[in-house]
Amino acid sequence: MYRHTVQYYETDKMGVTHHSNYIRWMEEARVDFLEKKGWPFARLEEEGIISPVLSVDCRYKKPSRFSDAVDIEVSVAEFNGVKLKIAYRMYIGDELICEGESGHCFVDDKGMPIRLKKSFPEFYGMLEEELNKQE
């Protein structure tokens, strides 16, 4: 679980969090998730793994406001060794305020696709394990 506290600059004139910030929080939560699993971005990049974003989807349920503590659950929704979909559920307390997904692929520093199972079996195994937790 990742926690983000809504900052004043993230809100609009009505005091509601601007919709674009939820996408940023998804990225923060994904970086935190990978770090907690032993794969911080620095390690991924050192290993030669780059994971560009292919898609983002975000569904807003309820607004958040300045100083709200937003808890973000992160899970592996889909993974086939080449592409990855991460799911996010955001809560204030027990109330779901937003949910979404981000789609990613894996490429080397030249932009060529990487087959994780062959090239990075430890990272592949961690993602497979996380996917299996959802099934």
Q: Which residues contact 122 (CB under 8 A, 6 or more apart)?
A: none
Rounded CA-CA distance 111/63 in Å is: 38
For the domain spanning 2-134, the CATH number is 3.10.129.10
pLDDT of residue 113: 92
Six-digit token string for 12? 């609009």
> Which residue, chain included where needed, has tokens 């959802």?
134
- Tens place of pLDDT for every residue, the chain, 135 residues? 999 999 999 999 999 999 999 999 999 999 999 999 999 989 999 989 999 999 999 999 999 999 999 999 999 999 998 899 999 999 999 999 999 999 999 998 888 999 899 989 999 999 999 999 876
Catalytic residues: 12
Six-digit token string for 13? 């004139």
Q: What is this structure's pTM?
A: 0.92
Q: Which residues pair with 59 in a beta bridge?
A: 99
Give the start-to-end residue ranges of the domains of the chain. 2-134
pLDDT of residue 35: 95
pLDDT of residue 109: 85
| b/e 79-116 (16+ beta carbons within 10 angstroms → b) | beeeebbbbbbbbbeeeebbbbbbbbebbeeeeeebeb
Q: Which residues contact 117 (CB under 8 A, 6 or more apart)?
A: 81, 124
100-121, pLDDT tens digit by residue?
Answer: 999 999 998 888 999 899 989 9
